[in-house]
Structure 1
Amino acid sequence: MRLNFSIKTKIILMNMGILIPIIIFIYVTITNNLYSNVIKSNIDLLTKESYNTQVYISNYIEKDKGVDIETNFVHKAPLINTYLSKKLNYRIQIYDKNGDIMTDSVANRVTLFDKDITNAIKGNKAYVVKKIDGNIYILFSSPIYLKDATLGCVRYIYTLDIEEKFINNMFIIMGILAFMSILISWLLSKLLSEKIVGPIKKLKTVSQKVTKGEYDNRIKIRSGDEIEDLAETFNVMSESIKDYVESLKEERQKQKKFLDNVTHEFKTPLTAIIGYSEIIPKLKKQSDIDESLVFVKEEGIRLLKLVEELLDLSKLGKSEFKIDRKKNNLKEIIEEVLIIINPRLKKYEIEIIKDLCDIEVLIDKDKIKQVILNVLDNAIKYSECTNINIKLQIENEKVILNIIDDGIGIAKENISRLFEPTYRVNNLNSINNNGNGLGLCICKEIMKKQNGDIKIKSNLQEGTSIEIIFEGN
């Protein structure tokens, strides 16, 4: 059922819609701060008390110098517990160094073991805030140590009943104030809305036309107040909407082309995952299975990162594209890539010929790994090669990684367009004859952001050579 509201009602609802969230925000902020301050003040109190307790226990145990310290502590724990619970007037527990409870000032109760005990017996003061039977408690544990040895810990179970009642009373007071604020705001809105109904009706009429696509309509209001400013702003907005709608139509076409091609970048990690998932059932050694599972996990994580990277790549050429450059051994990265892509190399019986050396360069490891994977993946899928030669060398203070296949090659007229985001090579007689230029476009962008480059040399039936160029040290 559709509900129709008058303009006056809408103004009132608008004011209420603004006021109520603000009141809720103020309430939540005050309540949280109040609660945090209550917890903090009580923790400070318990912390100070824990120091007094430590001094008391140390002096009490050291009185019997002829008795073993731990044995003496075990024997005197009930007396210590009784003294502390009467002095402080709240529940006290004492635990040994193994985390087992020795004594509790309240009998026939659950021990309430929690992580504060574990931390305390390790020598650290710790606490947890917990709701038990409808009441909030601070469980504060402090280590008991003597002569650099931790004997156990003492726990203070402190109830926050009084503080909770205070916070509840604050909630009631704030509720009353909120109700009064809403009532006053409603009355003022009702009185003032009468004076602005006319201009708003004009705005409504013109806005209805705009919603139908009539962006050329303009409104003229001479009220001498903010409504007039609103009318002028509305006119500007109408013009902006008109221009924006036109730009959206163009952008929509670009987005469509981008989305048609974006799946390419997902294929590399997915291929590795699928390859290892096919190999795992055939493996017999647990070490080989574990190693394969590690690669599956790593590629899954990389796939997740790749989703974020592809979103960034919708802003190609802008500063939002992030690069985290660090010193990395390029040879090690290449070896990692070859391990990941090894199942596919075996599947298509492709031999890798390596000529590598240890060279450290300032790069983003994950992104360079993505570039190399992409280039090798293209060689496997599209080149119909039997050998891939990988060569690493230094020329003119530049580090150059050559990846050369003996496949079917690429026509010269296609090479210059391979780095265009939406260009497809459709004339390759390969495993997948629907080659995608988006991967190379991304590779080009990654290399440029790291002061490098990527170049392609190829002839039909003569193979393809990819040069990945890095900035030298």
Structure 2
Amino acid sequence: MKFRWKIFLLCIIIYIITLSITGILVTENSYNNLLNKEIDRCLKEQNNVYKNSILYLMVNQKQMDNNIDMVNYGHRIVEMFEDEDSYIEIFKENGTVLVPSEKIINVDRKEEIKTSMKGKRNYIMRRNNGHHYIFINQVFEMNNKKFVLSYIKDLTEIDKQKTKQYGYFLEVGIIGLIFIAAITSRISKMMIKPIENLTDVTYNIAKGNYKDRVKVKNIDEIGILAERFNKMADEIENKITQLENESKKKQRFIDNLAHELRTPLTSIIGYAELLMKIKYDEETFHKGLNYMYFEGKRMLKLANTLMKMIITREDPLNIYSQNIKPILKEILEVMEIKASEKNIKLKLSTEDIKFNVDKDMIKVVFINLIDNSIKASEGDSEIIVGSGKNFDGNYLFVKDYGKGMSEEEISKVIEPFYRVDKSRARKDGGVGLGLALCNEVIKRHNAKLEIESKLNRGTTIKLVF
């Protein structure tokens, strides 16, 4: 069953239960109040009938010298006080009916008559043949004999009013039920609409439409749920995008690795086949063997670099706080000879700032970065190496004024085998793993690599700690 119908049925059930309890309590309370008032009125009426009957009896006793015929007396009392819904009976001491000749209502009344003979007025409520009666009994004496005057009142009309009131509640309840059903159906539909929207969005996301979102209009619990669902969907979309990007990177890595391996292997196999087929020629053999040696060394360098990346990920680093200035000086001294080949000046711009680094691994990083800057720079240029501070924290940097990179290249340059200038990289023997290796080392230092570059204006690479 749908949640909307559950809400609808719940509201209807609550309405029916509430109306039923209210109707019963109100009707029964009204009935009991009315019945109690009617009993009080009947007791007063019986008291008047009793007093007038005794007075009439006393008057007749004086006139007839106590020779009163109780049967005639009783009939006169009945004629005077009986009406359409009230009756009078007179009982003898032994409990038999004196007037009228037989009981008006055929019920056993021995116990109440016996109680009345003791001088106590009493009343009792009875139902008989669909009617509701009150019997009020009180004793009187005449000629040393006891008689009981019984006043009977039909209270059936009160029961009919009770039934009418229940019928009225039923009619009102049915009308209210129709009204409540219409309103509840509309309200439940409005309440469930955001949930239905949420359900549709989850279905669309499950089918792959990760950009679909719930429209948040409410500020209640459902609105909060929708808002948090949207945040969750954003995170899922981001994770899916990251996974797709990682998958693309891995595929590019595999493709580039295959290319890097296939190219030298093809050359080596090609020259080997050539040397096997042709007659010995010293110059040709020397050239072929030299090329095979060069390509084999490049494959070995590729294997060593890949192994170094694996080791970098797995081996623990010896990281501790140390002054960075002497380390950078050592690196510049190492790279100065290569920079001088293009008449490039290496400048140091740093203070005595301490960084938590592995000295050997940070040297590997800076040698790679400076080597890339030298390759990207024209002659008679300069490269600045140093440190600084910003709102993110302390950082190290390498800045050149060379060719620079486009925005698209910046996002891919740290991927394995990616080369901005492929022809230059092959000529220099590079395989495009330098920055990828640097990035792995920097991650192990809990730092991040930031690249700022513009075409023909140079590149700045920061290591932000």
TM-score by length of 2: 0.38
TM-score by length of 1: 0.37
Task: Work out which of the two has the higher radius of gyration on C-alpha atoms and give 1 or 2.
Answer: 2
